[in-house]
């Protein structure tokens, strides 16, 4: 063990000496590795940050959830909008039918949105999105109420004018005050705030609008204000945790919806069952393409850097030929010489890689809108691992040439 440690120390001294002997040459040679590792680690870091931000934005959709809607979510392939256009909208009566008859669902809810609605309290106002939901919606989607409470069945069943508002709405309508129990006007009608959601802040993607600017009211109250007898809505069904793949609940929804709409056995469905997994799969596919692009861009730079390190090592072998001969004449083994130069190549590559990783770390301090860039440990290990591999590949040939030198010829060289 002591012999191995001494060998590592000597290899480190030689490598450090090579670094200091010609700083300009070393920097230029390692620039390719630095740029390559920076490109790869930066792409992985940004992709991870984007994916985390988007998945957090999608979290409100819920887990093990199926949305019964008119329009399917389009993720690639031909989108036959002309066919979907003729399909009927889901209705409140269909929601009630599913609510009363679904046995493989843990919760069934109905919801609808209305954007661009002004909420007022005296001279204070804010433009918000109104969301009407049935009582069980909080079992499907997380609604973190910081102050106050969620609806009770009496309020949702009897179309009470009560609301759960986002943090921005509460602050705009009642600045510096506790908004719980305070009245405000929605579409000219008086409503009372019973709950204020936790502040989420800006997000890269907010599907349906920022939760901080959403006002949630009972669906029965929503339909009276905005639907004008249309009574259409999105039906949301949550399965049981043990229903792997949601096959059981999906099959039951299809059967009940076809029965409710009187669809003949030979005819296809005229409704869509949308699942968050489809959105997640599409996002993963997009990020996979970005990752491949990062590897391609980084690989060209790393290739150039590898040639630069190989060039340094060939020069280093030539400059130390006489020293190699002396070492061999004193009993140094071939593997010892090989390890010495290979260690030097890996160290040079690691220095370039660590500079690239440090640049990515500096990038994490830059605020790109609402995107928080976070350098994960696995991406650091990836950069160091790639740097080590490049060092081995670049230094193996010069190291083998040094190890196979004849000691007599090497000592006589100048």
Residue 195 reports pLDDT greater than 90: yes
The more confident residue out of 216 and 289 is 216
* Residue-wise pLDDT tens digits, 300-355: 778 877 888 888 788 777 877 787 777 777 777 777 778 778 887 888 888 888 98
Choose the weakest-confidence range: 4-13, 108-117, 172-181. 4-13
CA distances from 60 to 65, 200, 206, 208, 222 (A): 11, 12, 10, 10, 20
CB atoms near residue 50 (< 10 Å): 19
Share of the chain above pLDDT 90, in %: 22
Residue-averaged pLDDT of the chain? 82
Confidence of residue 190 (pLDDT cuts 50, 70, 90): very high
Q: How much of the chain, in percent, has pLDDT values that exceed 70?
A: 83
State yes or no: pLDDT of 43 exceeds 90.
no
Confidence category of residue 58, pLDDT binned at 50, 70, 90: low
Lowest pLDDT segment from 92-101, 215-224, 319-328 = 319-328
For the segment 127-134, the average pLDDT, to the nearest whole number, is 91
- Residues 303, 305, 308, 309, Cα dihedral to 10°: -100
Q: How confident is the model at residue 171 (pLDDT cuts 50, 70, 90)?
A: very high
pLDDT at residue 85, as a whole number: 86
Kindly state the average pLDDT of the residues 234-261: 86
- Say if residues 108 and 257 touch (Cβ distance below 8 Å): no
Which of 3-17, 131-145, 220-234, 306-320 is most confident? 131-145
The answer to whether residue 193 scores a pLDDT higher than 90 is yes
Max mean pLDDT among 69-83, 93-107, 205-219, 267-281 falls in 93-107
pLDDT of residue 226: 84
User: Which range (55-59, 88-92, 268-272) has the least confidence?
Assistant: 55-59
Please report the pLDDT score of residue 370 as a whole number.
Answer: 61
Position 20 scores a pLDDT of 67
Residue 76 pLDDT > 70: no
Strands 214-218 and 145-148, bridge-based pairing? unpaired
pLDDT, residue 192, reads 95
For residue 169, the model assigns a pLDDT of 93
With 80 as the cut, is the pLDDT of residue 241 above it?
A: no
User: Is the model's pLDDT at 60 over the cut of 70?
Assistant: no
Q: In the predicted model, is pLDDT for residue 255 greater than 80?
A: yes
Mean pLDDT of 257-279: 86
Q: How confident is the model at residue 23 (pLDDT cuts 50, 70, 90)?
A: confident
* pLDDT for residue 162: 95
CB 41 within 8 A of CB 378: no
Cα separations (Å) of 218 from 69, 132, 270, 272? 20, 5, 28, 25
Which residues partner with 215 through β-bridges? 130, 165
pLDDT surpassing 60 at residue 229: no
Residue 62, Ramachandran bin (φ over 0: left; ψ between -120 and 50: alpha; else beta): left
Residues 6+ apart with CB under 8 A from 65: 140, 141, 236, 237, 238, 239, 275, 276
Alpha-carbon gap, residue 316 to 318, rounded angstroms: 5
């Amino acid at each position: 063990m002591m012999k191995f440690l001494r060998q590592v120390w000597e290899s480190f001294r030689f490598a450090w000496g090579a670094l200091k002997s010609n700083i300009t040459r070393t920097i230029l040679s390692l620039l390719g590795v630095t740029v390559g590792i920076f490109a790869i680690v930066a792409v992985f870091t940004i992709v991870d940050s984007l994916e985390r931000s988007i998945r957090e934005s999608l979290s409100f959709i819920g887990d093990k959830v199926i949305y019964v809607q008119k329009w399917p979510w389009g993720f690639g392939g031909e989108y036959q909008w002309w066919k979907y256009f003729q399909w009927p909208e889901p209705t409140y009566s269909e929601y009630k039918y599913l609510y009363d008859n679904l046995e493989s669902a843990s919760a069934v809810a109905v919801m609808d949105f209305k954007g661009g609605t002004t909420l007022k309290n005296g001279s204070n106002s804010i433009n918000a999105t109104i969301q009407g939901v049935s009582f069980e919606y909080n079992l499907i989607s997380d609604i973190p109420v910081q102050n106050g409470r969620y609806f009770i069945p009496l309020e949702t069943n009897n179309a009470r004018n009560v609301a759960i508002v986002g943090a921005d709405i509460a602050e705009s309508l009642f600045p510096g005050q506790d908004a719980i129990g305070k009245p405000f006007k929605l579409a000219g009608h008086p409503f009372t705030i019973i709950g204020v959601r936790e502040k989420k802040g800006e997000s890269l993607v907010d599907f349906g609008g920022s939760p901080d600017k959403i006002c949630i009211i009972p669906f029965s109250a929503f339909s009276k204000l905005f639907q004008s007898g249309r009574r259409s809505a999105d039906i949301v069904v949550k399965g049981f945790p043990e229903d792997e793949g949601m096959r059981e609940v999906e099959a039951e929804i299809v059967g009940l919806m076809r029965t409710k709409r009187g669809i003949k056995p030979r005819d296809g469905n005229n409704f869509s069952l949308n699942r968050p997994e489809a959105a997640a799969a599409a996002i993963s596919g997009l990020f996979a393409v970005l990752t491949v692009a990062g590897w391609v861009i980084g690989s060209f730079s790393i290739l150039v850097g590898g040639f630069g390190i190989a060039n340094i090592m060939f020069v280093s072998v030539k400059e130390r030929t006489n020293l190699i001969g002396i070492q061999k004449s004193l009993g140094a083994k071939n593997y010892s010489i090989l390890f010495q130069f290979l260690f030097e190549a890996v160290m040079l590559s690691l220095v370039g890689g660590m500079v690239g990783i440090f640049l990515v770390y500096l990038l994490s301090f830059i605020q790109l809108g609402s995107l928080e860039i976070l350098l994960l440990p696995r991406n650091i290990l990836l950069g160091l691992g790639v740097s080590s591999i490049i060092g081995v590949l670049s230094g193996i040939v010069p190291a083998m040439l040094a190890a196979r030198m004849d000691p007599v010829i090497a000592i006589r060289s100048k």
